[in-house]
Amino acid sequence: MNVLVELTDRAGRVWGRAEVDAESQKEAEEIARGRARTEAREALTVAGVSNPTQSALVLKARVNVLWTLCMIYTPGSEPESKFSFHAKDEQEARSKAFVWCRYHSFDRSDVRVRHATPDEKNNIHNEWIPTT
């Protein structure tokens, strides 16, 4: 499973980012959080924040899982993978997929979401998904 963790401040600036593949979401999330924390510490030091834990800067982890949008082009056929995108859970993934579907004039019954396979992580297009 592919998990993306971003550490952001209250203004939405990303200070640390890590993407990890692992067998389980929990394992991937733990590894990614650690790597993102290290990256954030380095970025904060470069920015001149001497002691991030004592400063007013509070970082929040944003965790996203990689999902694949699949389309059914012919009734009764198997869904074909179209592209991958990040969402925090299956409900958000479905919501994003339905917005994409509506935007492109597809019927929502034609779209499916599932966890992305390792081969599909090279076809990530978050920019194609309108914000919900």
The pLDDT mean for the chain works out to: 83
**For 30-56, how does the pLDDT look when each residue is reduced to its tens digit (9 = 90+)?**
888 888 888 888 888 887 776 655 555
Q: Which two tokens stand for residue 68?
A: 């694949």
pLDDT tens readout for residues 57-91? 667 888 888 888 898 877 778 888 999 999 988 99
81: β partners: 70
Q: What percent of the chain has pLDDT over 70?
A: 90
39: enclosing H helix or E strand: helix 25-46
Q: Which residues pair with 86 in a beta bridge?
A: 66
Evaluate if residue 3 carries a pLDDT over 60: yes
Q: What is the mean pLDDT of residues 102-119?
A: 88
- Domain positions in the chain are 2-63, 66-128
Nearest CA to 18 out of 82, 67, 62 is that of 62
